[in-house]
Every structure is written in structure tokens, then in C-alpha cells.
Chain A
Amino acid sequence: MPLIEDGRPAEDSWTSVPDGEPVPGDIPAIISFERWQAERDSFAGRNTKLGVRLKGGTLAPAIAEDLDRFALVAVEFPKFRDGRGFSTARELRERYGYEGEIRAVGHVLPDQYLFLKRTGFTSVEAPEGTNLESWVNALSEVSVVYQPGLGKDDPNPLINRWLKSEAVQG
């Protein structure tokens, strides 16, 4: 499935490993949260990057203790209308200080890309058959934001403009 990073299609260096199949030791691999819970000891000596995939109902606190073991957390959107993932990413960043990659997977729309970025996601696994052009355009469609968000280039929230407005002095 096509990977989107910084508003552009990107090469995916990660491999998603279905439960039950062997996890390659020499390339970055993403395993399910359930597998991690069941087999965590088997990854004790692993030297290559490991990622974990959270189902929509698995919220940030569930993985909080183990975050230092993962270079990537994939947050699944079971349905694009199910917005829990936005809070999961934000909690990972703001509450647990996670600095690795957070990837949106599952049913997400280009129309949500700006929100994903602003809640702390770094990459998106776009659904198969998606129009890549819509993803590329998505970040520039709306340039004005009103509230604080996450992400290194998140603009200054609009609500702060009052700090500089003449009205304050007047």
C-alpha cells in the first residue's frame, strides 16, 4: 500500500508481519500489539527496529510502558469516521513524549491528512487504490489553523494573533 510522508509518496522501509508468520531479524518489522503481548520475550535480543500496530480500540496507555522498544507505532483507523486514532497519536506525543514514527493505517481519507499531521502522525499508509494526487494536495488546501497542534511545522495558531493585534493596546 502506498506510503505518504511529508505530503509526498515515499519508500516504505518497514515490513508488516502478519501474526503467526516469522518476524525477519534483519529488516524493520511491524508486529501486532496482540503478538507483542504474547511473545514479547522473544524480541528481547532483537537488534533491528521494531514497530507495533494498535487496533482502533487500543488506546495509548496500553502501549505506554513499552514505547522505548518501538521505533514506530502504527495506529489503525477501522473506519475513517472513527476518530479515536487522533487522540491516540496526540497522547503518544504529549502525554508519553514518544518521538518515533507514528503511522496512520486502515481507512483514512486525504481529507483527514492535515488533522493526522497536526495530531502527531508522521506517515500514512494510504488505502489501496487511493488517488495519490489528493493526498499530495491535502496539506495545502487549508492554510489557516486556529488552535495549537503538533508537528514541527505546525503554524502559529490563529487565536494567538490577538497578542499582536492593535486591539490589545487600544
Chain B
Amino acid sequence: MTATAFRADPGIPGPGTFGSEPDDHAGIYRYDDLDRRFVAERVEQFSKQVTRRLAGELTEDEFKPLRLMNGLYLQLHAYMLRIAVPYGVLTTTQFRKLSEIGRKYDKGYGHFTTRQNLQFNWIKLEDTPAILGELAEVDMHALQTSGNCVRNVTTDQFVGASADEIVDGRVYAEILRQWTIAHPEFTYLPRKFKIAIMGSDSDRAAIRTHDVGVIAKRNEAGETGFTFYVGGGLGRSPFVGKLVREWVPEQDFAAYLEAILRVYNQYGRRDNIYKARIKILVHQLGIDKFKAEVEEEFARLPRPKFTLAPEIVEGIRARFASPGLERLPAESAEFERSKAENVEFARWSTVNLAAHKAPGYAIVSVSLKPAGGIPGDITSEQMDTLADLADRYSFGEIRVTHAQNLVLAHVRKDDLFDLWRQLDAIGLATANIGLIGDIIACPGLDYCALANARSIPLAQAISARFADPARQQAIGELGIKISGCINACGHHHVGHIGILGVDKRGEERYQITIGGDATLTTAIGDIIGPAVTEEAAVDAIDTMVEIYLANRTEGERFLDTIRRIGHGPFKESIYAAD
């Protein structure tokens, strides 16, 4: 660790810094006047599109994709507005605005999604222009959060802070954000297109479940390059992303993506919405043929038009300068003492903290999964307090994770106890990150018109059953993921335990899979038997946990025990009793 890496540097504020922002902030990309003009023009364009729809100039069929590209869905009971949070990073100013919108236009809360975005589920159509206007005030929008375009790029929630980071993925996620905004060629793709990028060896972004998954790395010469996986995806036909190229040099980052998208745009299926994702094209062509097509396209893309000059990369990197981290001793006596004195704080510290690259700092995950709660929901009151805490303890920055939790990325170990007490006071100190209570769930039939079954009550029942934090910790790493229908928004295929809601003659039933894995060792879970009732599903999970605990070896995770002893014992015990 060099001394210069963490200079007390306020960061480069950029031309468009908010007046009310704390001076000392983490590296957050700030809009400049051109970014602002773009968003303002798009808001205006959408309002004209609404007018043209009302005048009958646009048919409903023509208007729908335009509406979706502005993030506005029609759900079961109301409109839903999905707000873009580029690679999951928010300033506290933005966070407070989301809280305010939740209070003014929704029911006093918001819902974080598995794409690191935020959804408001109870929006009135007539309020949307005002909401978009308010979002624009804090450099936010809902563009490209839906529709058959390149969606919000996701990344590691610990980006720029993690001890194991090799490349800062924010820089490249931001380049992709810009590159894919209103892309003239790729806004009417066969289907939606999701990209995730990771800059360390641990996969915290589910790289191989994305249309394109990118791992940023360095070679021996210290140059940055990218490994590209293509054709991963969940939904009704789950596929694990396939390696398409091991090393794409930095300067060709955008060009390579351009080549992939062009092959997809030309050859992806458009005859059947369920076969239109790139995963089906890759599967039907075969990875070798697909790769050959991409390489051919890539080779002839005109340079330097598509070359990412080092100056451009550096210009964007400068916007993500390190926050003003102090030089601190690696250990904090205060932190150690508090852990020794308070068993709850000690547990939370073990479960919810991750290693920061700077000595004396920690990364704090804030669980939005209280026992019996709705995964990913947060009230406006909680948001306001959390924004204050982020200002005080973490450079005015809050991240959203793909597991529907939040992160304060740069907290001094000395401050952890104070922070924990204040989080606890607002119900945000649940110690269950990565544990059985940290359930990912889609909105399900409570909100969604596509769903076959509700996801939320089941998630609530499971987390209530396993409410005891000591028991959760004893069980260890175990990810449950719940989807209310085959579209798999809750990523059930890659849950260690996955649950899919199905409709059996008008009754809600739940099909259970085990052995799924969302990290680089990606695996699709196995169905263990016929679908069961909600109550039986909770019991089945309890049973599986008991079998795991009885069979595990020292330090063995649930997933590893399943891999070692096979699925048989789990299936038998659940269905034997019938």
C-alpha cells in the first residue's frame, strides 16, 4: 500500500457539483451541463410523446416502447416508475430526493431491485412529469430502465473500496453508461440487454447470469483488459454465460461490445419474445460460431472511431478519485473493545462488514431484510436518517447492491459502533448479509401483472422462521432467491435454494430448486420435486437446513455440502413424508 494512494484529497468535483454537497465526498460521477441538458431534453421529449399519444398520433402499440424506455410500467394496481441508479451509486442528495418522492408521490417508501435500481410501485400517471422533473434536479432519471435497449450497467457494490479490487469497475461502467445512452443502432434490439462488470476475482455481480458479463483485470505488464462472457441469463430458459474472449485490451472495450451488439441486433430472433434474448442466439449458433461472427465484426470496425483513447479513460477515472481517506492504523482499539462488550454488535461486525483496501476502514452492508420484512423495501424516514449517517460516516455516498441491500463503503473502524447503534435505532442493523434471511425476491403477484404467485409473503415467512440471528449465523452462507414467475426476476435459478412461484389450478404453489450458484462457478439449481404450498415450502427449507447441519463438515458451506452429498438426501426427506 503506497502512501500516495490515499492522499487526503477531496476528489475532483467536476463542473457540476451540487452546492449542498459535503466537500469531502467519495468518488461519485457528477453530471456536467451537457449531461443535464440531455436529461432535460429527454424529459421534454417524453412529455411530447405523451401529448402525441393522447392526440391519437401514436397508437398504444407505438407508445408502449417509448413509455418503457422512460421507465414507466403499468403493473397490476398502478403505474410503477423504475429509476436508474447507474452502477448502484448514489449521493446523499439523490438519496434524500428519492425519500422525498416516496413520501410525496408513493406510500412513504421505495423498493430497491436486483438491478441496483429503485422502484416506486404506486405512481399516478399524471404525477410522472413532475417526478421526472424532480429527479432531473438531482441528476437522475428513469431512462433505459426498461425496453429492448441496453439497460443500467451493474457492478460490484464494493467497487472502489474493496481490499480485493484489481480494477475500478466504476470507470468502465461509467464509460458504458455514456456509450449506451440513446445508442442510435441499439435502442430497438430483439430484447432487453443487461451488462454487469466486476473488477476483482470475487464475483459480486453475478457476471455469468448477464447478457454480457465483463471481468476487468490486469496483465503482467500492468495493462487493463477485459474478459467477456456472453449469453448468460435466467428467465424461462436459464443459461450460464459463455466465455467469448479472455482478453480485450482497454482501448477496444467499447468496440468489442459494439461488435457483440451488432451481431445480436442482426441475428437475434425477433419471431418469438421468449427466444429473443442473446442467450438463445448464442445457444443456437453455438459459442464458436457466435464468437467467429463477433471477431469478424470486431476486426473490421473502423478505428480510431471506436477506440477508447487512454485520455478518455483517464478523464473519467479522474471523476472517481479516492475520497479523503485518513491514514489510520489497521486495527481500532475502540472497535475491538465494543465487540468484546456487545455480542449483537460483534455478530453484526462479523456478518455485515467487508474488508476495505485502506487500513482502519471497513465496508458496511446495511441489510434491507429484517425478519418478516419485505426484501429491498425502505421507508422514507429510514432513508432520511441513513442519508445523515452516510454524510457523517461515509463521505455522503450510498450504494445499492444487486442483493437489494445498501452499502456505506468507507467507514472508519473507530466509528462502527456509533454507526451500528444509530442503524439499530431505525431498524437497519439486521445482521444477515449473505445468510438465510438475506432473501432476494421479486415483487411477485402483490404488484406484478406477470406473476403466478406472491413472492413477498413467502420471503417474510422464511425470514420470520429463521429470525434468530444466532441461528442464522450458525447456518452460515445460504442464499435463498424467490421469483413469482418463470421470468425469474428473483434469480431463483441461481439461489443456493431457489423458489419459483407457479399457478396450479388457481392455487399458488412453490417449486423448490437447490444447488444454484450466481458466482463465477455459476450453476443452475435442480428441481427437487413437485411444487408445494407456501407453508410446506417454509417447512421444506427448515428440513433442508437440518439435513445440511447434520451432514456438513467443519467450515463447509450449504452449497458445498450439497455438491458433496448430492441432492438425494434433500429430496427424500422432503417428499418422503407425503
Interface positions of A (Cβ within 8 A of B):
59, 80-84, 86-88, 90-91, 94-95, 109, 111-112, 114-119, 131, 134, 137, 141-149, 158-163, 165, 167-168, 170
Q: Is there contact, CB below 8 Å, between B312 and A147?
A: no
Q: Is there contact, CB below 8 Å, between B37 and A81?
A: no
Interface check B470, CB cutoff 8 A: no
Chain A-chain B contacts (Cβ-Cβ < 8 Å), number? 126
Interface check B565, CB cutoff 8 A: no
A interface, over-half SS: helix
Interface pairs A-B: 9 shortest CB-CB: A162-B315, A83-B188, A118-B184, A144-B38, A115-B184, A167-B318, A86-B185, A146-B181, A146-B178
Tell me which residues across on chain B come within 8 A of A119, comparing CB atoms: 184-185
Complex-state Cα separation, A117 to B45, whole angstroms: 18
Complex-state Cα separation, A83 to B265, whole angstroms: 7
Tell me which residues across on chain B come within 8 A of A149, comparing CB atoms: 184
Q: Chain A nearest CB: distance from B465 CB in Å?
A: 45
Q: Chain B nearest CB: distance from A155 CB in Å?
A: 10
Q: Chain A nearest CB: distance from B189 CB in Å?
A: 6
Complex-state Cα separation, A168 to B178, whole angstroms: 17
Q: Chain A nearest CB: distance from B187 CB in Å?
A: 6
Q: Chain A nearest CB: distance from B195 CB in Å?
A: 15
Q: Is there contact, CB below 8 Å, between B315 and A86?
A: no
Tell me which residues across on chain B come within 8 A of A137, comparing CB atoms: 48
Tell me which residues across on chain A come within 8 A of B315, comparing CB atoms: 161-163, 165, 167-168
Q: Chain A nearest CB: distance from B180 CB in Å?
A: 8
Known pairs A144-B38, A159-B175, A167-B315; A84 contacts B187 (CB<8 A): no
Tell me which residues across on chain A come within 8 A of B58, comparing CB atoms: 109
Interface check B292, CB cutoff 8 A: no
Task: Give 1 or 0 for each of B308-319: 1 = CB within 8 Å of chain A CB.
Answer: 010110111011
Partner of B57, one of A117, A131, A147, A158: A131
Interface check B302, CB cutoff 8 A: yes
Tell me which residues across on chain A come within 8 A of B57, comparing CB atoms: 131, 134
Q: How large is the interface on B (under 10, 10 to 19, 20 to 34, 35 or more residues)?
A: 35 or more
Q: Is there contact, CB below 8 Å, between B189 and A83?
A: yes
A-facing residues in B186-201 (Cβ within 8 Å): 186-189
Complex-state Cα separation, A160 to B205, whole angstroms: 28
Tell me which residues across on chain B come within 8 A of A144, comparing CB atoms: 34-35, 37-38, 41
Task: Give 1 or 0 for each of B4-33: 1 = CB within 8 Å of chain A CB.
Answer: 000000001011000000000000000010
Interface check B42, CB cutoff 8 A: yes
Tell me which residues across on chain A come within 8 A of B305, comparing CB atoms: 148
List the B residue with the shortest CB-CB distance to A115: B184
Q: Which of A59, A112, A147 has the most CB of B within 10 A?
A: A147
Complex-state Cα separation, A111 to B64, whole angstroms: 13
Interface check B105, CB cutoff 8 A: no
Interface check B283, CB cutoff 8 A: no
Partner of A145, one of B12, B182, B306: B182
Q: Name 13 interchain pairs, CB-CB below 8 A, sorted by A.
A: A86-B185, A88-B266, A111-B66, A114-B184, A142-B45, A146-B38, A161-B32, A161-B315, A162-B311, A162-B312, A162-B316, A163-B312, A168-B311
Interface check B337, CB cutoff 8 A: no
Interface check B49, CB cutoff 8 A: yes
Q: Is there contact, CB below 8 Å, between B182 and A142?
A: yes
Known pairs A145-B182, A163-B315; A87 contacts B41 (CB<8 A): no
Interface check B236, CB cutoff 8 A: no
Interface check B65, CB cutoff 8 A: yes
